Every structure is written in structure tokens, then in C-alpha cells.
Amino acid sequence: MDLADRKIVGWSLSEDMTVKNTVWSAWLSAISIRNIKFNFIFHSDQGVQYAANKMSRVLREDIKITQSMSRKGNCWDNATAESLFKTIK
């Protein structure tokens, strides 16, 4: 979700929790839709897919995007995403 306009720019559904089938697919979708450059912040929770070395390395080294993770057990750190999930449910 782009927090500037709250549009969904990347999403993925999968039968497993691998980085390749979840976060990576959504990320590729997002960067193909939006012109993502430097100085962006990638907000997420502390799920294993987001904390995986592959995802962290791509964000940090390849495209210089800051990764921001919410604190464990604190839904207020990621309130926009939590609100979206409530709407979907």
C-alpha cells in the first residue's frame, strides 16, 4: 500500500510463506506499477518473509530503500495495514 494515496500497489496470494511466493511477488508487482526510486520506506511487520535476508538485502543494497518494521505485538505501528486487513476480513 502506498501511504501517500492509500492505493494497493502490490499484492500476492500463496499456499506457502516463502519469500519468493509472497513478499517478492508483491514487491515486483509494486515496482512495476509505481516508479520506485531512492528514499522510500518499506514498512512491514516482523514476519519471517519481511525479515528474510533476501528481502532485506534487495531493499538495502540493490535499491537503497529503508526497511521499517513494527515492534513485536504492536498493531499501532502498522495501523494503516491493520485497517486494510480489517476491511478485507
What integer pLDDT is reported at residue 61 of this predicted model?
A: 77
Alpha-carbon dihedral 4, 61, 76, 2, rounded to 10 degrees: 20
Q: pLDDT tens digit string along 4-63?
A: 888 888 888 889 888 888 888 888 888 888 877 667 788 777 777 877 888 888 788 767
Q: What is the mean pLDDT of residues 56-85?
A: 76
Which residues is 43 bridged to in the sheet?
Answer: 68
Distance, C-alpha 19 to centroid of its chain = 11
Q: Which residue type sits at 58? A: V
Q: Where are the domains of the chain?
A: 23-88
